[in-house]
Amino acid sequence: MSDWSLVEVELIIADYFKMLQTEISGIDYSKTDHRNELRTLLKNRSKGSIEFKHQNISAALINKGLPYIKGYKPRWNYQQLLEERIIDYLSQNSAIEEKFNDFAIRKIESEPKKVEYKNWNVTPPETTLFRESTVSYYRPIKRNYLELEQKNQSIGDTGEKLVLEYEKWRLIKAGLPKLANEVKWVSKDMGDGAGFDILSKNTEGSDIFIEVKSTTLGKETPIFFSKHENDFSEQKKEDYHIYRVFDLRNQPKMFKRNGRFKDICTIEAISFKGFF
């Protein structure tokens, strides 16, 4: 199949953003209906080809620090043309930034659906074949809304509370209620300066330092962490764990990784400090 043309790329980008704005506003919609309607305009593209291109758009949006459609897992091998047209779309539709901001700062108004902890811990995503943006000379939307969402206090607190309860459940299930009573919500009791959020125990009784990163998006969403958190993970690499809570507004799930940040994810430097 030939590369996507300019017209085809612009059509699928416009349709993707229609779906995205609907999704992040909390409104139900049908991906199938959108795809079927789109296929009437893209006469030579299969359902699989359209799905793959949607996933490419997700990857490009993540590269720009923007929310994406959860059902379209990011695929990073996209044309430069795709990223160029996304930038052009965002430049011409600046009002969409208000939707991104609402998404990032919206509070968790109610408790998540009851979590069945025995089914809560899922397989981590495969190591991503992430690549840096190929079009970095201009960002029509300057803020990183994925990072802003992670800083949303209500999202962070909700995810940490779920992890706190999970750790107590895990230890009680192992027949260790005394250790369960020692699990502490450090970031709530002492603030964010510890380098981790939850102090828990393994079944032998030694400490586990848990950093919780939460999102309302999918499990492939990147995490953001401070130098202090990174340094602490280096110091406590054997006992440091990342618990990634995702899909927080609908059906929360979690995966976990043990070790230093540089051992468990691909790291991209996004800010620097300069001395004179």
User: pLDDT for 162-201, tens place per residue?
Assistant: 999 999 999 999 999 999 999 999 999 988 888 999 999 9
- Choosing from 74, 105, 136, the residue where a domain stops is 105
Residue appearing with tokens 């380098």:
195
Residue 55 lies in a domain: yes
**CA–CA gap between residue 244 and residue 258 (Å, rounded):** 11
CATH number at residue 189: 3.40.1350
Question: Both 83 and 187 in a single domain?
Answer: no
Residue 32 lies in a domain: yes
Average pLDDT in the 102-119 region? Answer: 87
Residue 140 lies in a domain: no
Q: For the segment 5-29, what is each residue's pLDDT rounded down to a tens digit?
A: 899 999 999 999 999 999 999 899 9
Tell how strand 253-258 and strand 184-185 pair up. Answer: unpaired
Question: Both 156 and 254 in a single domain?
Answer: yes
Question: Both 81 and 163 in a single domain?
Answer: no
DSSP secondary structure letter of residue 30: -
pLDDT computed for residue 7 by the predictor: 93
Domain of 17, in residue numbers: 6-105
Question: Both 172 and 252 in a single domain?
Answer: yes
- Choosing from 105, 132, 166, the residue where a domain stops is 105
The average confidence (pLDDT) of the chain is 91
Residue 272 lies in a domain: no
pLDDT computed for residue 183 by the predictor: 98
Nearest to residue 39, comparing CAs of 51, 27, 26, 21? 51
Question: Both 157 and 100 in a single domain?
Answer: no
Backbone angles phi, psi at 211, to 5 degrees: -105, 120
Residue 165 lies in a domain: yes
Angle between the 31-39 and 6-24 helix axes, to the nearest 10 degrees?
160
pLDDT computed for residue 136 by the predictor: 57
Lowest average pLDDT, out of 63-77, 121-135, 249-263, goes to: 121-135
Evaluate if residue 130 carries a pLDDT over 60: no
pLDDT computed for residue 135 by the predictor: 59
Distances (CA, A) of 265 to 23, 73, 99: 27, 17, 29
Residue 227 lies in a domain: yes
pLDDT-derived band of residue 212, with 50, 70 and 90 as boundaries?
A: very high
Average pLDDT in the 30-43 region? Answer: 91
Residue 94 lies in a domain: yes
Evaluate if residue 134 carries a pLDDT over 70: no
Question: Both 91 and 174 in a single domain?
Answer: no
Tell how strand 198-201 and strand 184-185 pair up. Answer: antiparallel
DSSP reduced 3-state for 170 = helix
pLDDT computed for residue 273 by the predictor: 80
Question: Both 98 and 159 in a single domain?
Answer: no
Question: Both 169 and 257 in a single domain?
Answer: yes
Evaluate if residue 129 carries a pLDDT over 60: no
- Choosing from 37, 72, 105, the residue where a domain stops is 105
Question: Both 172 and 241 in a single domain?
Answer: yes
pLDDT computed for residue 112 by the predictor: 73
Average pLDDT in the 102-130 region? Answer: 84
Average pLDDT in the 114-140 region? Answer: 75
Question: Both 46 and 99 in a single domain?
Answer: yes
Say how many domains are in the chain.
Answer: 2
pLDDT-derived band of residue 149, with 50, 70 and 90 as boundaries?
A: very high
**CA–CA gap between residue 141 and residue 162 (Å, rounded):** 33
Distances (CA, A) of 172 to 104, 128, 167, 177, 253: 35, 35, 9, 5, 20
Residue 18 lies in a domain: yes
Q: For the segment 81-107, what is each residue's pLDDT rounded down to a tens digit?
A: 899 999 999 999 999 999 999 999 999
pLDDT computed for residue 231 by the predictor: 95
For the chain, how long is the longest CA-to-CA vector? 64
pLDDT computed for residue 131 by the predictor: 58
**CA–CA gap between residue 94 and residue 214 (Å, rounded):** 27
Evaluate if residue 139 carries a pLDDT over 80: no
